[in-house]
Amino acid sequence: MHKVHVEALSGAIAGKLRMLGLSETHIHDVVDGLIVPSLRGVDTHGFRLFSTYLSELEGGRSKAKPNIQIDRVLPALAQMDADGALGIVAGSEAVRLLMEMASEQGIAAVFVKNSNHFGAASNYSLKAAKAGFMTFCCSNADALVAPFNGEKALFGTNPMSFAVTTDKDAFCLDMATSQVSYSKVKQHLKQSMPVHCSWAIEDASAASGIRALLPLGGYKGQGLAAMVSILAGLLNGAPDDEHMAHFYAEPFDTPNNVGHFLFAINHRALMSASEFDARLERFLDSIRATAPRGSEPVRVAGDLERDTQESREKEGIPLSEEEYQLYLRLQREVQ
C-alpha cells in the first residue's frame, strides 16, 4: 500500500483535467469530489473512481465543457440540465444553486437531469451543511440491486446522504440503498476476498461474478431505492434504473442520463443558531455516550470518517498498487 499526500494527488488530478479542457471551477469541483472521500476513508468513491471518469471524458459519455442549463420553475424549485457533464461537476453546480435558493427562500429543491455518476453523495450534503443548511441529496443509478425476493437486478444502488453541522460537530449519513456498494463488492472479488451472502447473489457465469446486489434491510431497502428512483429518476425524465447504461460498461460513449435530487432547509430561520447547535450537539453526544455492547464505541454517522480524515491529512491517502500506478502515470503526463 502506497501513501500519497493530498497536494501531490490533487495536483496530478487537476493537471490531467486541465489537459482535457475542463474549466478551473470544474477542475476544483472534481478534485474536491475525489480527494475528500479518499481523505474520509470512503475509498470506493474517492480517487479510485478517477480512471472511470477519465474513460467517460475520453470516450464521450461525459463532456469536458457542458452547456449546463437552469430552469428556475418556482422561487424555491429548479431543474438543471447537466448536458452530459461529469456527475461531480453537475452535483457541484447543483449544490451552489441550491444554497443560493435556500438563502433567498429558506427552503429549496434542485432536480438534475442528463448527468452521470456523481461520486459520494456526502460531497454535496456536507458542502451545503457547512454553509449552514440542513441538506438531503440522492441519485439514481444503473440497475445492480435485486428487489426483495427477486432474482435479477432492477434498482440502482441509489445512494442518499443527509447532513447537518455545527461549529463543533456534524451528523453526516451517506449510504447506498443496497447492503453494500457495488464498488465494495468489486473490490472484494478483485482481491479474492469473500463476499458475504447478505451482500449479493453470486453467479460464477456473470462477468462481474455476481448476478445482483441485495437491498439494505430487505424490503425496506427496496422501498428506499424506489423512493430515490422516483425523486431522482422518474421526475427528472431519466430512464428507469434497469434501462440505464452500466457505469463501468465499455465503450464509454453512451450517455447515462443519471438524475439527482437535492433539498436544503435554512433551519436557522426556525431556531436560533446557538439554540439549535446546542440541541444537536447534546443529542449527538447522548448517542455516543450509550454504553456499548462490545469493545467498539457507539458512533454517530460521520464519526469514523472524521477520524479517518484527521489521520490521512497528516499521513497521506493510501493507494492500491493499481491506483498508485495511475497516479505515477498522471504525474508523468502533466509534467
71: Cβ contacts below 8 Å, ≥ 6 apart: 78, 79, 80, 81
Amino acid at 281: E
Q: What architecture (CATH level 2) is domain 2-269?
A: 2-Layer Sandwich (3.30)
Chain segment 221-232, per-residue pLDDT in tens: 999 999 999 999
pLDDT band at 204 (very low <50, low <70, confident <90, very high): low
4: Cβ contacts below 8 Å, ≥ 6 apart: 316, 317, 319, 324, 327
Amino acid at 49: L
Chain segment 137-155, per-residue pLDDT in tens: 999 999 999 999 999 999 9
- The 10 Å Cβ neighbour count of residue 152 is 11
**Domain parsing of the chain, residue ranges:** 2-269
DSSP assignment letter at 63:
B
What is the percentage of the chain residues whose pLDDT exceeds 90? 85
DSSP-assigned states of every residue in 303-320: HHHHHHHHHHHHH-EEE-
Q: Bigger pLDDT: 182 or 320?
A: 320
Phi-psi domain of 302 (left: phi exceeds 0; alpha: psi -120 through 50; beta: other) = left
Q: Is the dihedral of CA 128, 239, 244, 178 positive or negative?
A: positive
The CA distance from 31 to 14, in Å, is: 6
Chain segment 311-320, per-residue pLDDT in tens: 999 999 999 9
Question: Rounded to an integer, what is the distance from CA 50 to the centroid of its chain?
Answer: 13
* CA dist list (Å): 73 to 19, 78, 101, 164: 36, 5, 12, 27
The pLDDT mean for the chain works out to 95
Q: Residue range 197-226: average pLDDT?
A: 87
Q: Is the dihedral of CA 77, 82, 88, 89 positive or negative?
A: negative
- What SS3 class is residue 39? helix
Q: Residue 251: is the preceding peptide bond cis (ω within 30°)?
A: yes
The whole-model pTM stands at 0.94
